[in-house]
Amino acid sequence: MGGDRGPEVTIPASLTCLEENPELHVILVGDEAIIKSTLGQALTEHGGRLSIQHASECVEMDESPSKALKNKKDSSMRVAINLVRDGKADACVSAGNTGALMATARFVLKMIPGIDRPAIISTLPSIYGHTHALDLGANVDCTAEHLFQFAVMGAELVKAVENIESPKVGLLNVGEEDVKGNEQVKAAAKLLEKSSLNYIGYVEGDSLNAGHIKVDLIVADGFVGNIALKSIEGTAKMIGYGLKKAFNKNWLTMLTGLIAYPVLKSFKDSIDPRLYNGASFLGLRGLVIKSHGGADELAFRTAIHLAEIEIKQDVIKKISAQVEQTLAKREIA
Amino acid sequence: MGGDRGPEVTIPASLTCLEENPELHVILVGDEAIIKSTLGQALTEHGGRLSIQHASECVEMDESPSKALKNKKDSSMRVAINLVRDGKADACVSAGNTGALMATARFVLKMIPGIDRPAIISTLPSIYGHTHALDLGANVDCTAEHLFQFAVMGAELVKAVENIESPKVGLLNVGEEDVKGNEQVKAAAKLLEKSSLNYIGYVEGDSLNAGHIKVDLIVADGFVGNIALKSIEGTAKMIGYGLKKAFNKNWLTMLTGLIAYPVLKSFKDSIDPRLYNGASFLGLRGLVIKSHGGADELAFRTAIHLAEIEIKQDVIKKISAQVEQTLAKREIA
């Protein structure tokens, strides 16, 4: 039901994913009448791989997370997360209210023992392909220990989904030199240096997209991570806007634009934010994927694909095992 | 002497600025022999508007600020800042080591009474023209009071250099709603709401380049501001790289690139970082402009132009008066 356009986007996206992946099962959670009318004939077309779970309420996009959690016990996101808790679903994918989804997921699924705070991880396009980054906004105040925990969880996720042995982990900072940074970052660096992670040191903001070396995972406080993410979105938007304006200047530039269109389009497609849609909540005992609220069908499909990959790679189990192992090591040391 | 390329860049840039502005006087500070040999005939060509001030030492780009301050009392940056302190120069422009320049400027010039910390302000290209933002890296840990002081100083600078009555001031945050943000930002918002500034509320990272409304000044902690700035640079770099790659794919795309070149170039020029070079140190009792270390001649000229504008607008005097007035108001209240 969530996102700016609701079932109009989430249902067609789900149907396409069912066609693409014969192993996929989808439970559509929300207002049964609306879902049925949007589905039409499609309900019976996927050999039992598509079902509906009714939920009588719906969290609004601007509703306060605490109110949603307290008052809407039969909301579509709550019911969907309950399915994950009860083992009836392997993941919940939602385009709904981020804060409410996080609060509900945390309340219902609980944290992995040893992890203090959940974090939001996603991928960003880079000159090396892409980079994983967390926390992108779940926590506005993080201690060094939180940053360390994010690194442990993030590295395990990157290992699983990218199939790399030892992902390079960088800590987002205002410079690469040891003396740079605030107290949290400096203390987190010390924890990371002592760890078994492939910690490469401090990285600057440009490393998210175009650093001088490839970094697999970039760790930051959610305040900084979110602002960096939005700054990147703003810059991409400004450049897109400026290019369009330059090509629309007069008939000659418009003609040029027509000629250059296929090349510009192929590049634009390669950094299409819809292909990077979907952020995972890490630190919970179940898989929850947040899609951008403004997602269209293609974008929402990307978020479902992300869930498929993380389910297949058993990411939650691997992270839980890694966290347990890290904690055990610390107790010995 | 500073920057990656030293007098090879700073001297030709200075000469061009002298030609452009007949009111400008330039004192080149550094190794007299090197300056004289780089200048050649030019020394006598500007009717006494060009002079040399010898300095026997030079701060290295990677030197620790505290060491530079302690051990190099005759460094070119120290001597140049002394000239500002002694009223022999109206501003110091340097492409040298940022940390050392800041530490030296703070030590020699002292702070404006009522201001606790200096901040770095610069402009960024935006879909509305450009946006001023501070702090871009001087302070990695800021209190609400620091953020408030940055806003007071920044607004006064924007007023003076943009000639606008009441610049719109936004506070960089992870969302626009009141409940969003960390403790410092929330407390700073309260101070700004009570002030006489045209405070428009929280703005997100995309406002630096492409927000849904025009903001004249964006205020942030130096840690966040610096990472946002570098993220923007990284994104622009990635897009430039990707476009080049797309046009270099095969002979057809290369031909297309050739045709589209003038339009792409005109757009690229409009966001050329060299046209945004130069950051001002605010909060000091004198004008210090920091150029990017990697600046070429055009970029360094932009930094000199910035100094010319801020001198003409008497920015330091206006900021000092505004700070005094703000403090007086607080004492009454």
Q: Encode pLDDT of A275-301 as tens digits.
A: 999 999 999 999 999 999 999 999 999
Per-residue confidence (pLDDT) for residue B270, from 0 to 100:
87
* Span A196-251, pLDDT tens digits: 999 999 999 999 999 999 999 999 999 999 999 999 999 999 999 999 999 999 99
pLDDT (tens digit, 9 = 90+) per residue, A225-234? 999 999 999 9
The residue from A274, A297, A327 where one domain ends is A274
- A150 within 8 A of A134, measured Cβ to Cβ: yes
Q: Which of B67, B128, B185, B239 to mutate to test the interface with A (most CBs of A within 10 A)?
A: B239
Question: Which strand (E) or helix (H) includes residue B123?
Answer: strand B119-126
Name the pLDDT band for A47 (thresholds 50, 70, 90). confident
Give domain status of residue B218, yes or no: yes
Pairing verdict, β A129-134 and A217-219: parallel
pLDDT of residue B331 exceeding 80, the answer is no
Residue A191 lies in a domain: yes
Range of the domain at B163: 119-274
* Nearest beta carbon to residue A238 from set B127, B173, B222: B127
Chain B residues lying within 8 Å of A233, measured CB to CB: 205-206
Same-domain status, A253 and A172? yes
Q: Do B232 and A227 touch (CB under 8 A)?
A: no
Domain co-membership, B123 together with B28:
no
pLDDT at residue number A327: 81
What's the pLDDT tens digit per position in B90-136? 999 999 999 999 999 999 999 999 999 999 999 999 999 999 999 99
Distance, CA of B299 to CA of A203 (rounded, Å): 25
Facing B206 at nearest CB: one of A233, A239, A253: A233
- The answer to whether the CB atoms of A246 and B237 lie below 8 A apart is no
> Is B238 within 8 Å of A210 when comparing Cβ atoms?
yes
Q: Are A109 and A143 contained in the same domain? A: no
Mark whether B19 and B42 lie in a shared domain: yes
CATH number at residue A109: 3.40.718.10
CB of B109 closer than 8 Å to CB of B305:
no
Question: Over pLDDT 90: what percentage of chain A?
Answer: 89
A229 contacts in chain B (CB < 8 Å): 205
The minimum CA-CA distance between A22 and chain B, rounded to whole Å, is 35
Taking the C-alpha atoms of residue A119 and residue A222, their distance in angstroms, rounded to an integer, is: 8
Determine, yes or no, domain membership for A309.
Answer: yes
Which of B195, B196, B154 minimizes the C-alpha distance to B172? B154
| A11 and A106 co-located in one domain | yes
Best probe of the A interface among B238, B248, B251, by most A CBs < 10 A, is B238
Residue A43 has pLDDT above 90, yes or no: no
Tell me if B204 is assigned to some domain.
yes
**Cα A112–chain centre separation:** 18
Give the distance, in angstroms, between the CA of residue A318 and the centroid of all CA atoms in the same chain. 18
* B104 and B27 in a common domain: yes
Q: A333 falls in which pLDDT band (50, 70, 90)?
A: low
Express each pLDDT in B292-309 by its tens digit: 999 999 999 999 999 999
> How confident is the model at residue A75, as a pLDDT?
97
Give me the total of CB pairs closer than 8 Å, taking one residue from chain A and one from chain B.
189
Question: How far apart, in whole angstroms, are the C-alpha atoms of residue A129 and residue A110?
Answer: 34
* Domain annotation covers residue A18: yes
Whether the bond into B135 is cis, omega within 30 of 0: yes
The mean pLDDT of chain A is: 94
The mean pLDDT of A116-131, rounded to a whole number, is 95
Q: Would you say residue B326 lies in a domain?
A: no
Residues B200 and B233 in one domain: yes
Which of A274, A306, A324 represents a domain boundary (last residue)? Answer: A274
- Record: contact B204-A211, CB cut-off 8 A: no
The answer on A125 and A66 residing in a single domain is no
Report the distance separating Cα B46 and Cα B77, nearest Å: 24
Antiparallel, parallel or unpaired: β B129-134 and B119-126: antiparallel
CB within 8 Å: B256 and A247: no
Contacts with B130 from chain A: Cβ below 8 Å: none
Nearest Cβ partner for A267 among B125, B223, B242:
B242
Mean pLDDT of A99-110: 96
**Would the CB atoms of B224 and A227 count as touching at under 8 Å?**
yes
**Do the domain assignments include residue A72?**
yes
Q: Which two tokens stand for residue B92?
A: 């110091």
CA-wise closest residue to A69 among A93, A103, A99: A103
Instruction: Name the average pLDDT for chain B.
Output: 94
Q: Are residues A130 and A253 in the same domain?
A: yes
Asked if residue A232 lies in contact with residue A208, where contact means CB atoms within 8 angstroms, the answer is yes
Pair (A127, A60) in one structural domain:
no
Domain for residue B327, yes or no? Answer: no
Shortest distance between the Cα of A99 and any Cα of chain B, in A, equals: 10
Q: Are residues B259 and B196 in the same domain?
A: yes
With residue B261 as reference, give the H or E element that holds it. helix B251-270
Tell whether A156 and A65 lie within a shared domain: no
Q: How many domains does chain B have?
A: 2
Residue B200 has pLDDT above 70, yes or no: yes
